[in-house]
Amino acid sequence: MSGRESSQERIVRQRMKLRERFLRKMRETPGASDREPQGSGPQNRHGMPRLPVGQTETKKWPVLDLGVSPELSRESWRLRVDGACENPLNLDWESFHAFQQVEDISDFHCVTTWSKLDIHWKGVRVSEILARAEPREDASHLLCHAYDGYTTNLPLEEALKDDVLLVYEANGEALPHEHGGPVRMITPQLYAWKGAKWIQQIEILSEDQPGFWEQRGYSNTAHPWRDDRYSR
């Protein structure tokens, strides 16, 4: 075995170092720490009821967006990662696929009360990309920008969870354009509006900055098992 560290080994080391910085906060998030989560059904892998309070399972996949459908292909798609970081990134389709590709099964909870369960995803962990960008010590949040002008915010302790992905496949097929293809973010432990369709930029912030729906009365934290839909 070579004494030189491979690119993937370096990314894993950087990701684990970043996770360690936020591990306590990650363990204290409602999705990981609630003793009395609201919902029904057997526990999911995070210990939460399978169906959050107020949600109804659907077999369909409703389409919700701002009414703008950007013209975008895998060849034209780009992702910028910048802001409060040491190593800003500009990724195209090829460089995006140089990151470790992962498959995961998780649920999709929309604030409009429907949930689609057991979606098979393929993509890249957001934590892998953030590790390569090397957030500064004062970094605390993300603001995700989409090609249609949409924005949404996330604290780093939510974004670094292993099931938060940038996905390009759903149930074995290319992610449909109407659901954010070629690439969108998913946030299985939060309401789905926290995962931007047609993602274009991940801006790393040193303080919180509300996104599109957060500025319009939706919850800043968006925890499904607390019925955390709107600002209080």
d(CA 197, CA 231): 23
The CA distances from residue 76 to 147, 155, 181, 185, 201, in Å, are: 11, 29, 12, 18, 14
Superfamily of domain 7-226: Oxidoreductase, molybdopterin-binding domain (3.90.420.10)
pLDDT digits (tens, 9 = 90+) for 159-189: 999 999 999 999 999 999 999 999 999 999 9
- Single-letter amino acid code for the residue at 14: Q
Mean pLDDT of 95-117: 97
Residue 2 pLDDT > 50: no
Mean pLDDT of 221-232: 93
pLDDT digits (tens, 9 = 90+) for 204-213: 999 999 999 9
Mean pLDDT of 122-146: 96
Residue 27 pLDDT > 90: no
How far from chain centre, in Å, is Cα 18? Answer: 16
Q: With beta carbons less than 8 A apart as the criterion, state whether 30 and 225 touch.
A: yes
State what percent of residues in the chain have pLDDT above 70: 98
Task: Count the Cβ atoms, other than its own, within 10 Å of residue 189.
Answer: 23
Q: What residues does each domain of the chain span? A: 7-226
